[in-house]
Amino acid sequence: MDYDDIMKDMKKDNIDENKTRVEMGYGKAVLIGWASKPFYDKDKNVLHWAKEIKFGDDSINTLNYNIRYLCRKGVLVVNAIASVNQLDLVKQNIPNIMQSVEFKSGEKYSDFNPSIDKVAAYGIGGLVAGKVLAKAGVFVFLLKYIKIIGIAAIAFFGKIWSMITGKKKEDSNPLPNDDVQPNA
């Protein structure tokens, strides 16, 4: 697997993501590159990598260290966020983190049964690049239309609530008052 090619694709995707971020009023988050290239530990079924990201005008770049624990039915994602100059410190503490994760019997990667379980539609590269979700456009769609979705949800649940509680708008044309006598 060519992780440099994956990084090139991720940087291209990052350009579009930043356009959306700026349109929404957020600062850019520029993907600089690998702080630590991906590697897969076959013995433990764990994938590691770290990206270096520059947020806005920050003078120190951010480290996003990813650990993906593969299990029978999916992936457990653990991220460590620090300044990029703390990469060595993060790496020193990874063994402690790894010791704290244990899957129950039947859920471990080694418990995978090909006659029952489904094989994931993405490979190691898909886990690193996040292509499955990116192609679906889920996050971009949600970020782009979050205000509209929120307003629609509030209106929908408001209507449901009024139906449940039985509250209706008061009639603007009240019935005539029976106490009023006509002039004779």
Q: What is the pLDDT of residues 57-75, one digit of tens each?
A: 999 999 999 998 887 777 7
pTM: 0.61
Looking at this protein, which amino acid is placed at residue 181? Q
Confidence bin at 135 (pLDDT 50/70/90)? very low
Q: Rounding to the nearest 10 degrees, give the CA dihedral for residues 15, 16, 20, 23.
A: 70
pLDDT exceeds 70 at position 22: yes
In whole angstroms, give the CA distance from residue 169 to residue 163: 11
Q: Where are the domains of the chain?
A: 3-130, 137-168
Instruction: Give the pLDDT confidence score for residue 165 in this predicted structure.
Output: 72
Mean pLDDT, to the nearest integer, of 114-129?
55
CA nearest to 33, candidates 57, 49, 48, 56: 49
Q: Answer yes or no: are the C-beta atoms of 65 and 87 closer than 8 Å.
A: yes
Give the residue with greater pLDDT, 71 vs 46: 46
Q: Answer yes or no: are the C-beta atoms of 64 and 50 closer than 8 Å.
A: yes
CA nearest to 109, candidates 132, 76, 67: 76
